[in-house]
Structure 1
Amino acid sequence: MGFTALHLLLWLLAASTPTAQEMLSLHVTPKISAACGQQVTLDCEVSSSQHGLSIKHMQWYQNNTSYCSVNSEETVTKEHQSSFRCEYQQGRLSLIFTEVQPMESGTFRCKLHSNKGAKDGSTILELQDGCGQVEGLIKDGYPTCTFTRVYPDGEVHWFHGSKRLHGEHKTIEDVEDGGWLTIRSYMERKSSGVSYNCSLWSTKIGRYIASTLVEKEEFSPRERPLNGTGSQGPMRTSWCFTILTVFLLKLL
């Protein structure tokens, strides 16, 4: 039987007609950058150009860990213990983090099974550098500073006046819950009465992200002036207020 014009027409129609799989779409944001303390929402939304779409199963997961899912009856199940919640509404499954932890940064995948086919998509969740506090004090005569809730890592640099000190301190790192780092550093020589500067250098972004002055304590906590004059003891400083100090040091 020869190849007729009718056969050609039927073949062209079949080739140009989209399948149910092609009519099904899954929408996710490719990449999200999360600032420390910021609420972050990962949305996975399904749509179809055909009527009668019915979701059988929809799920957010990371590696082999499932975070939440929704079934055909639109029942949402939270399947992992962490600071997040899940919401579902009209084909959109949202994974909402109250505060992203370092161990949660990475690639999240959303997968869908429906009566129109299956789809999956991925979102890269990136946690920005920084977050936390720095405390500087004189302990047993030795200048000491502690950086809390550090991510992803950092190098501690000490300054005596305007001079950078090399090889005169020790640094210890501890991994806390959620993957945050606590970095403790102390000088190996006693304070000489001159203020020290303890700064945290981010190797990832190539700049200082935190700094504090460590001054000799001449007053007990009860004797320390309330007006802020004189030398101070322990200094606990929010990181966002410390960058100016480091910038001025680099100009010297």
Structure 2
Amino acid sequence: MGFTALLCFLSAFTLTTQDLASLIVSPTVTAECDQQVTLNCNVSSYQNGLSITHLEWSQDKTKLCTMDSLGGLIQHNTAPLGSFQCDYEDGRLSVTFPRVRALNSGKYRCKLRSNHGTSNEYTTVELKECCAKVEGVFMSDGPSCTFHRVYPEGEVHWFHGSHNLSDGSVRHNTSQSVDNEGYLTIHSYLKRKSSHVPYNCSLKSTRSGRYIASTLVKTELPSNGEVRNMGSSNLSRSQEPMRTILGILILLAAIMK
């Protein structure tokens, strides 16, 4: 009798364990900056008599999408994370970021409560290294460069010809700020004299150790040694043929008289 009861208990335990609801997510989702990314959470035993009482996506205890026992889908207002869209269909809860930003990187949790038990699974959004724009200009006291919408952090390295100016021999001033989307703006400048050889300003990622953006900062030196505006000098040269033609026409008019 006792043996029979034990067998019944083990069978019931096995069935209960097999029927427990579980969640399927991608452990890691790699995304490009400012591109669309979707996180999917699938309930594995949705077709086996499962009754969902609660299903949600969240990040750092901040709820994004919630589905209740009546099938109602709530999209929570989380301004810091920017725009996103929640969808639910056939046991799958999805959250889509149409333009993923630096603030969207990190760990997300999918949480389930049902008549078959509870389950939690996590997925991590990893952004690729990026720099949307780089500008270089030669100021009165030396070259400067600015990197816009950078992720993650980076180190600015200056080069002049074959010389690495960031080896400690030359001091360069670098500052950075964070915008409301979590991206960095990194500005750097050198106090150096003008040169016929352009300066190279490069950004090295602290995550991978590779250079993700660079620009050349050029100057033009006239005989007096002052930095000359390239646009103005080109405009003056383009007007020289017109002045010559005008002078010839004036001379012909004077001879004809």
TM-score (norm 1): 0.80
Whole-Å separation in 2 of the counterparts to 1:9 and 1:54: 28
Residue 150 of structure 1: aligned partner:
150
Residue 113 of structure 1: aligned partner:
113
Residue 243 of structure 2: aligned partner:
none
Compared CA separation, residues 67 and 9, structure 1 to 2 (3 A): closer
Q: Aligned to 1:24, which of 18, 21, 25? A: 21
The structure number with the bigger radius of gyration is 2
Compared CA separation, residues 28 and 200, structure 1 to 2 (3 A): same
Whole-Å separation in 1 of the counterparts to 2:9 and 2:72: 43
Contact 1:23 1:49 in 2 (8 A): no
Whole-Å separation in 1 of the counterparts to 2:70 and 2:199: 63
Compared CA separation, residues 86 and 16, structure 1 to 2 (3 A): closer
SS in structure 1 at match of 2:129: coil
Moved more, 145-154 or 112-121: 112-121
Residue 204 of structure 1: aligned partner:
207
Superposition map of 1:29-108 within 5 A: 29-48=26-45, 51-79=48-76, 80-81=78-79, 82-108=82-108
Contact 2:131 2:147 in 1 (8 A): no
Residue 122 of structure 1: aligned partner:
122
SS in structure 2 at match of 1:24: coil
Contact 1:24 1:117 in 2 (8 A): yes
Q: CA RMSD in A?
A: 2.2
Contact 1:136 1:145 in 2 (8 A): yes
One-letter amino acid matched to 1:207: R
How many Å apart are 1:168 and its aligned residue?
2.8
How many Å apart are 1:26 and its aligned residue?
1.1
Residue 249 of structure 1: aligned partner:
none
Identity rate, percent: 48
Whole-Å separation in 2 of the counterparts to 1:181 and 1:105: 14
Residue 7 of structure 2: aligned partner:
9
Whole-Å separation in 2 of the counterparts to 1:4 and 1:175: 69
Contact 2:142 2:191 in 1 (8 A): yes
- Structure 1: tracts of 5 or more residues without a match: 226-252
SS in structure 2 at match of 1:7: helix
Q: How many residues align?
A: 222
Whole-Å separation in 2 of the counterparts to 1:87 and 1:224: 57
How many Å apart are 1:141 and its aligned residue?
4.5
Residue 243 of structure 1: aligned partner:
none
Superposition map of 1:181-200 within 5 A: 181-200=184-203
Query: Greater helix share, 1 or 2?
Result: 2
Contact 1:197 1:212 in 2 (8 A): yes
SS in structure 2 at match of 1:14: helix
- Structure 2: tracts of 5 or more residues without a match: 221-227, 236-257
